């Protein structure tokens, strides 16, 4: 579990760095604000989804150590609701968000998590 924890911390750290970079670009590039705020919405949903996934994975790891700890599902419904809410906000407010930016942002944590977890197993 030590390698998983360090990999998740690195993924969260880089996700927040990416979000800060997009926020700075949002302030500096007014002609791309609509896409960048869509990207921020997707990234926020991605980080929330990643938090849910990491907590469920942590509980499953704790179950391997202590059989009294029982996981309460995989969190798939919560993660689908987070992504669905981000897409709903995009469709509900088309003058504020672009679907392409939200969808790209929703993949941020999954890509970072895959990279850092895969790298920690080498």
The per-residue pLDDT for 32 is: 94
Average pLDDT over residues 12-28: 94
Q: What is the pTM of this model?
A: 0.86
What domain range includes position 38?
1-121
C-alpha 36/C-alpha 88 separation (Å) is 17
**For the chain, how many structural domains are there in total?**
1
pLDDT, tens digit, for every residue of 61-95? 888 888 787 777 778 899 999 999 999 999 999 99
Question: In the chain, pLDDT over 70 holds for what percent of residues?
Answer: 98
Whether 113 shows a pLDDT value over 90: the answer reads no
State the CB neighbour count (10 A cutoff) for residue 53.
Answer: 19
Per-residue b or e along 5-29, where b marks 16 or more CB atoms closer than 10 Å to that residue's CB: eebbebbbebbeebbeebeeebeee
């Amino acid at each position: 579990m030590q390698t998983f924890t360090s990999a998740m911390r690195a993924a969260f750290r880089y996700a927040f760095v990416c979000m800060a970079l997009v926020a700075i670009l949002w302030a500096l590039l007014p002609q791309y604000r609509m896409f960048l705020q869509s990207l921020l919405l997707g990234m926020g949903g991605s980080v929330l989804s990643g938090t849910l996934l990491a907590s469920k994975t942590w509980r499953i790891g704790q179950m391997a150590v202590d059989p009294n700890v029982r996981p309460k599902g995989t969190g798939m419904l919560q993660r689908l609701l987070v992504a669905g809410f981000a897409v709903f906000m995009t469709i509900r407010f088309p003058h504020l968000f672009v679907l392409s930016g939200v969808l790209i942002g929703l993949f941020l944590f999954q890509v970072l998590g895959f990279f850092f977890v895969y790298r920690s197993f080498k």
